[in-house]
A = this chain, B = another copy of it.
Amino acid sequence: MSHPVLDVIHARRSIRRYRPELPPETLLRTVLEAGRAAPSGGNSQSCHFLVIRSAAVLSRLRALVEACFASMEAGPDTYRSLRSSITLSKRGGYDFTLGAPVLVVAANQRGYGNALADTACALENMMLAAQALGLGSCWINQLHWLDDAPPVRAYLEALGLDPGETVCGGLALGWPDQSPAPIEHTGNRVDWIDADVELPG
């Protein structure tokens, strides 16, 4: 089976180094339109994207995020990536945006059961559109983890996040400054159910 969609799906990698230049407006809009076209529960279309391409805003957000993480303590059950954010922030100079010139903050309605699922579908569409256009992207979870951290939330609300919205994820976006090789997908197990089984009990 060959199709450009499959090629893009299999070639996409999370990009963790970016060139500093802003990608052209038309490419960014194309990526965002791809996100907006994702399916949503009951066709609610209630995602909300803040596309931050102001260097001043990104710098301020980085500082706020670093300060929040630096004030946290990792416990034995802390998720590995969150632990890494805390450790790097305490050390100083932590950049959760991976140096990307654009950060998409992806939010949805608090209390809406499909908020995370709908937003993830939109972000996946954006990652694939970015790959198709030669851009790089990486899912950014830090603002989701800090959704209720007062200084970060106050700033995001000043930027346009609604108080009734929850940050479900984010996306670093820009021209890639690395070309990571495809990775093997040995996990994500698939079982084929072609015959019925005995019910227990």
Cβ contacts under 8 Å, A43 to chain B: 183
In the complex, A45 has a CB within 8 A of chain B = yes
Cβ contacts under 8 Å, A117 to chain B: 116, 120, 139, 168-169
A54-B195, A60-B196, A196-B54 given; A187·B47 CB < 8 A: yes
In the complex, A41 has a CB within 8 A of chain B = yes
In the complex, A89 has a CB within 8 A of chain B = no
Shortest distance between the CB of A24 and any CB in chain B (Å): 10
Shortest distance between the CB of A185 and any CB in chain B (Å): 5
In the complex, A71 has a CB within 8 A of chain B = no
Which of B6, B35, B60 meets A30, CB within 8 Å? B6
Taken residue by residue from 49 to 69, chain A's Cβ proximity to chain B (1 for < 8 Å, 0 otherwise) reads as: 111111011001000000000
Which 8 A-B pairs give the minimum distances between C-beta atoms?
A45-B187, A120-B120, A4-B4, A5-B132, A36-B188, A124-B124, A1-B30, A121-B124
Q: Could you show 11 A-B contacts with beta carbons less than 8 Å apart?
A: A1-B26, A3-B129, A6-B132, A12-B37, A36-B187, A40-B187, A41-B139, A42-B80, A117-B168, A121-B121, A121-B124
